[in-house]
Chains A and B, each alone.
Chain A
């Protein structure tokens, strides 16, 4: 079945450690996205990528890094510079559409990161 796989589901780290969250999709989508969700908050965009080897900062990119070496993969690294890393992280993907077409985002199941 096609879909987006995020791993792990739960992740625990000590403060000061970098951690990488995995996201893989087999939907042949061009674009991939990372969102962060905090309790009672909406989704905030961290980074997105519309093509391999290219990515753009979202609204809250500080303290995060990404890579897009393959179309299927878009890992997110939460660095020690991120001041409040504990959150629910969601990866999503979509087709890149023309101005006349519309492609919704499809989400993975998320990774819940806890940093103590």
Chain B
């Protein structure tokens, strides 16, 4: 059983701060990693994907991947109250489970003004 672990939080940061969300995964051969944002009562929406070791930046979001440590993180710079949501880490399966995403339970983020 592939496992994806996230700190459940809640994580609370002031407006303008950097929010750091972390995720570890158990399947060493995983190649594709995704961060989804889910507002309360809504469906998840993709905000970042990362496939190679290192950093990937998109606006205020930076995803970081370290395959040796089986660790992926999401940094949100200049956090805004509108960033308050649950962030889901997802890891894509390989081989017989190609196409499946394995999700963590999510980290709830609150950005207070």
Contacts and interface: CB of A to CB of B under 8 A. Distances in A.
A42 interface: yes
Contact of B43 (A97, A102, A108): A108
Contact of A31 (B49, B90, B99, B106): B99
B15 to A, nearest CB: 26
A109 B43 contact: yes
Interface string B38-50: 0000111110010
Contact of A96 (B88, B94, B99, B101): B99
A81 B45 CA distance: 31
Contacts of A25: none
Nearest to B4: A42
Interface in B94-112: 94, 98-101, 103-106
B88 A42 contact: yes
For the complex, would chain B's binding face be called helix, strand, loop or mixed by DSSP majority?
A: loop
B67 to A, nearest CB: 14
Nearest to A6: B43
Contacts of A45: 100
B26 interface: no
Interface in A67-81: none
Contacts, number: 53
Contacts of A104: 34, 46, 49
B43 A90 contact: yes
Given A90-B43, A107-B43, 13 more contacts: A33-B100, A43-B88, A58-B100, A97-B98, A99-B98, A102-B49, A102-B51, A102-B92, A105-B90, A105-B101, A109-B42, A109-B43, A110-B42
Interface of A: 31, 33, 35, 40-43, 45, 48, 50, 58, 90, 94, 96-97, 99, 102-110
21 contacts: A31-B99, A35-B103, A42-B4, A42-B104, A45-B100, A50-B99, A94-B99, A96-B99, A97-B98, A97-B99, A99-B31, A102-B32, A102-B49, A102-B51, A102-B92, A103-B99, A105-B34, A107-B43, A107-B45, A109-B42, A109-B43
